[in-house]
Amino acid sequence: MRESTGGKIFVSFIHVVLIIISLTCILPFLHLIALSVSSGHAVDLGQVWFWPVGLDFTVYKYFFENTPALRAFSNSVIITLCGTALSMLATVLTAYPLSRRYLYARKPITTAALFTMLFSGGMIPTYLVINSLHLTNTYWSLWLGGLISTYNMLIMKSYFESTPGEVVDSAQIDGCGEVQLLLRIILPLSLPMLATLTLFYGVGYWNMFMSVILYISKTNLQNLTVIVQGMLQIQGNFNMSAMDMMQQQEMVSEKLKAVGVMVMVVPMLVVYPFLQKYFVKGIMLGSIKG
């Protein structure tokens, strides 16, 4: 079927809009990369746009050697890995029973979970609960405080419900119990959804900020997001006494900000390509049933 002139114009317009939107995402990131590896003099004069001017990686060296960024990075890794594992385990163990139609009080429990998406206890009551459990200044305050995302749990529940009934019936006829059914049938068929929600939880824990501010007061336990934010507010916690005058001139504010953002963003960019192929498939399949 031959496409009409109006259809061609519309498709071209859509392509132009998508290209513009893509550039609004890519160009700022390229600008940050260029700022972080350009000379401080060029950055200070505003000569850097999307291409580095006078390559200089000194700021990266001092960023990790003279600040708590390296320790904060390891804290972020611990928070993200353990938190994501715990959240995924809790989400699976909640979503699977709710996806079984023979579960007693299934609808009231689901309704109660939906209620939490509309109303919450609030910041102060939540802090009082965490404090009364003596979880402040421990990572358990971060992991238990947001263990399950109701939205993610409902997506997983819908995905489990979309599993063909014939497959479940065959497994049960062969003698599979609920645990074996979950581990051997349901989860292997749910890899796209598991990868998608793992990415959701991972990004959430990696970028966690407000919860760390509220519950973690010890600097040696804070994550990279909080440390970088604090460094940017005071123009960097660098040990200036260890630098000569030329090096101090290289540590301009814009370079520090660019390096801090790059260090925070790059780990997620490295992980995302490995999960990207599951991302769209997982979301679409999980939205088949409500």
Nearest Cα neighbor of 73 from 233, 252, 206, 248 is 206
Name the DSSP letter for residue 119. Answer: -
CATH number of 57-286: 1.10.3720.10
Q: What is the dihedral of CA 126, 127, 132, 137, to 10 degrees?
A: 130
The separation between the first and the last C-alpha atoms of the chain, rounded to the nearest angstrom, is 37
**Would you kindly state where each structural domain of the chain is located, as residue ranges?**
1-56, 57-286
User: Angle at CA 112, nearest 5°, toward 108 and 118?
Assistant: 145
pLDDT tens for the chain, residues 1 to 290: 566 777 778 888 899 999 999 889 888 888 888 887 777 667 777 777 888 777 777 777 777 777 787 888 889 999 999 999 999 999 999 998 888 888 888 888 888 888 888 887 788 888 898 889 888 899 999 998 888 888 889 988 888 888 777 777 787 777 778 888 888 888 888 888 888 888 889 989 998 888 899 899 888 888 888 887 777 665 544 444 444 444 444 445 667 777 878 888 888 888 777 766 666 555 555 444 44
How far is C-alpha 13 from the chain's CA centre? 33
What kind and span of H or E run contains 42?
Answer: helix 40-44
Tell me the backbone φ, ψ of residue 217, rounded to 5 degrees. -100, -15
Please, which residues have CB within 8 angstroms of residue 237's CB and are 6 or more apart in sequence? 66, 67, 68, 230, 231
